[in-house]
Amino acid sequence: MLAHPQTLAEKLVARAAGRSFVRAGEIVTARVDLAMMHDSGGPRRVAPILERLGIGVWDPARVIVVTDHFTPAGDSESARILDLTRRWVAANDIGHFYDMRGISHVVVPEHGHLTPGLFVVGGDSHSPTGGAFGCFMFGVGATEMAGVLATGEIWLRVPETIVVAFEGRLGAGVVAKDMMLALCARLGMDGGDYQAIEYRGAAIEAFGMEERMTLCNMAAELGAQVGLIAPDAATTDYLRRAGTDAGDVATWRSDSDATIRTTHAFDAAALAPQVAAPHSPANAAPVTAYGPTAIDQCYIGACTGAKLADLHMAAAILRGRKVAKQVRLMVAPASLEALNRATADGTLAALTEAGAILLPSGCNACGGYGIGVLAEGEVCIASTARNFKGRMGAASAEVYLASPYTVAAAAVAGRIVDPRDLLTAPIA
């Protein structure tokens, strides 16, 4: 037995705090390895604070800026925000700048910035995506980010760890998004209690990195500070393709006798495709509970729902089929890399030949920005992470959440249907 057994979260925080071990509940000061911002919550918010303080960026090499919310500019105000962002990046000598390359939570790992053991602060609530790579990564507001940029440090309370274990094997047409919607229904939007959620089990281990990113990304929907998955061979392989060495991944896992707050265990094989009704991810139920709910728009986009793996899911349903005449299917790839790879492997052709409308890579309608927002009273089913009232457009619009499989199936049927029926049915 170890003298000081620790969870993965505790090990990551201890490293950042320069200590051999920490305990849940302690308040520590941590050194930040990377700070990530985007155009919405980044320079336009933090620059005035730093200017008032008369302080510059502590280490430009450790700052990453991505433009994704206001891209491409659809009006003069968006153009102004993007111009401000670009000028701030140049003035502060920020080398890691990804301008209109896609959504920050996807672009940053694609370029190999997130490796096991890092302590990373992001200026967005879905920053826990980085936990898929064995990083301690969480979101902060502009005031805290300004403090990080000025000092390279941040204080935090060491979180307790809540284990979510999915044993067994998922059925066809059931994916990480279904897991997360089921968890939102089971645990609630505050079930994570601003602690660390660590995902474990055979079903998690079988996932590629993009599905793991979905799980950690949506830890935010459970109210957790971070979502974590212990790195393994899948992590190493992904980072090698991104041109980065993962290091000693075996270091970054919870000790067997570490203190866990609670464990939630699930049978992956028993899980059905899930759909969350308006206006909360916690309103989730099996797809069969929804009956013939007619849809006006289907939206495959966002950091949670338009990575290459997500586009592959949609194509598996749409290939050889057509979008229903009364339905709009919008597809906004999460990054240019995902778009390019989907073009090369035929996925994009399958989507557009079915009738999908291709949107620019970026946040777009997920947060109510730019193209694809909803009119009064419209009904949408989306692969996004959130369906809060008014988030994707008009306050009277209704947004259902589902996996890319289920969104694509609704596009074909014109209503919410079980995607498993289309996966197994012959194409007419």
Task: State residue 367's pLDDT score.
Answer: 86
- The string of pLDDT tens digits covering residues 123-158 is 999 999 999 999 999 999 999 999 999 999 999 999
Task: State residue 60's pLDDT score.
Answer: 98
Give the chain's residues under pLDDT 70. Answer: 1, 428
C-alpha closest to that of 288 among 399, 427, 402, 378: 402
**73 and 109 within one domain:** yes
For the chain, what is the total number of helices (H) and then of strands (E)?
14, 18
380: CATH: 3.30.499.10
**113 and 163 within one domain:** yes
Distance CA 359, CA 334 (A): 10
Distances (CA, A) of 341 to 241, 307, 337, 338: 13, 10, 6, 5
196-200: strand order across its sheet? 226-228, 196-200, 161-167, 262-267
Do residues 379 and 401 touch, judged by C-beta distance below 8 A?
no
- List the end-to-end C-alpha distance of the chain, in Å, as a whole number: 61
**338 and 226 within one domain:** no
Q: Single out the residue in 238, 266, 294 at which a domain terminates.
A: 266
Domain assignment present for 3: no
Q: Single out the residue in 266, 289, 304 at which a domain terminates.
A: 266
Task: State residue 324's pLDDT score.
Answer: 97
**231 and 158 within one domain:** yes
**262 and 114 within one domain:** yes
**Domain that residue 233 falls in:** 8-266
Q: Single out the residue in 245, 266, 287 at which a domain terminates.
A: 266
Distance CA 213, CA 227 (A): 9
- CB contact set of 304 (below 8 Å; sequence gap of 6+): 126, 177, 214, 217, 218, 383, 384, 385
Q: Looking at the 3D structure of the chain, how many domains does it have?
A: 2
**122 and 175 within one domain:** yes
**343 and 385 within one domain:** yes
Distance CA 107, CA 98 (A): 8
Answer yes or no: pTM beyond 0.95: yes
**94 and 21 within one domain:** yes
Domain assignment present for 234: yes
Distance CA 144, CA 351 (A): 41
Task: State residue 371's pLDDT score.
Answer: 86
